[in-house]
Amino acid sequence: IEDSARVISRMTDIVMIRTFEQTKIERFAANSRVPVINGLTNEFHPCQILADIFTYIEHRGPIQGKTVAWIGDGNNMCNSYIHAAHQLGFHLKIACPYGFEPDPDLLAQYRHCATLVKTAEDAAAGAHLISTDVWTSMGFEAENEVRRAAFAKWCVSRPMMAAAKPEAIFMHCLPAHRGEEVEADVIDGPQSVVWDEAENRMHVQK
Ligand code: NVA
């Protein structure tokens, strides 16, 4: 990785990497002459969160002071939402099945802006934005069966959307599994902005 970084960064102006362990991208960046963007790791997914925030602002205005609900896996998306809550001044309520919570050190560091709650309904209550993701992220496919059992009741539903603010919107970084992490009538319903969110990956990355 170190040698690849030395060579590739002599030939390019900027490098964007999608990989698995965060340490790989950090080792690359430490030896790169040019900026390195995290295009997704197991631990973080900042490019998607930028697109999500832009989509929120486009639909509802500033996100500062708002409440965002993260429902499901305490994964790379969730971790980057924690960073965004800190940087942009919103409150993040996180609800995950037992054993799938975000890193406790991260939660402790950002406790001023991110709170772990017990149920998906607790997270949804009063939220301005509800976001979720697949039960099994890329690279975790071996855990698929265990995750299906643990997440069986973790599906963003219409009653959850009804518990949020009336003007709440729904996001999902896609691809989605209707009937697993989200009901079809939520992702295909009037509060869903997932197609704008998907398009905004392009605009934000530019
Ligand atoms: N958490 C998902 C995000 C995909 C855009 C994954 O890492 O697979």
pLDDT in tens, 107-126: 999 999 999 999 999 999 99
Question: What is the four-CA torsion angle of 133, 137, 141, 142, rounded to 10 degrees?
Answer: -100
Q: What is the pLDDT of residues 139-151, one digit of tens each?
A: 999 999 999 999 9
**DSSP collapsed to 3 states, 82-142:** HHHHHHHCCEEEEECCCCCCCCHHHHHHCCCCEEEECCHHHHHCCCCEEEECCCCCCCCHH
Q: CA 176 to CA 174: how far, in whole Å?
A: 5
> So what's the pLDDT on residue 78?
98
Which of the following is catalytic: 6, 10, 18, 203? 18
> So what's the pLDDT on residue 184?
98
Q: Tell me the average pLDDT across 36-61.
A: 98
> So what's the pLDDT on residue 32?
98
**Residue 133: active-site member:** yes
130 contacts 170 by C-beta, under 8 angstroms: yes
Any long-range contacts for 87-91 (C-beta under 8 Å, 24+ apart)? 88/53, 88/63, 88/64, 89/63, 89/64, 89/65, 89/113, 90/63, 90/64, 90/65, 90/66, 91/66, 91/67, 91/115
> So what's the pLDDT on residue 50?
98
| DSSP secondary structure code for residue 179 in this structure | T
Q: Is 18 helix (H, G, I), strand (E, B) or coil?
A: strand
Q: What is the pLDDT of residues 190-203, one digit of tens each?
A: 999 999 999 999 99
Is 173 touching ligand 1 by the criterion CB < 6 Å?
A: yes
Is 75 touching ligand 1 by the criterion CB < 6 Å?
A: yes
Q: CA 154 to CA 156: how far, in whole Å?
A: 7
Residue 3's pLDDT band, with cuts at 50, 70 and 90, is very high
> So what's the pLDDT on residue 102?
97
Is 45 touching ligand 1 by the criterion CB < 6 Å?
A: yes
> So what's the pLDDT on residue 53?
98
Query: Directed axis angle between helix 76-88 and helix 46-60, to 10°?
Result: 50
Q: Tell me the average pLDDT across 5-19.
A: 98
Identify which of 41, 96, 135, 137 to mutate to test ligand 1's pocket (most ligand atoms within 8 A of the CB). Answer: 137
How high is the mean pLDDT of the chain? 98
Helix or strand holding residue 187 (H, E): helix 184-187
Is 76 touching ligand 1 by the criterion CB < 6 Å?
A: yes
**Residue 111: active-site member:** no
> So what's the pLDDT on residue 71?
98
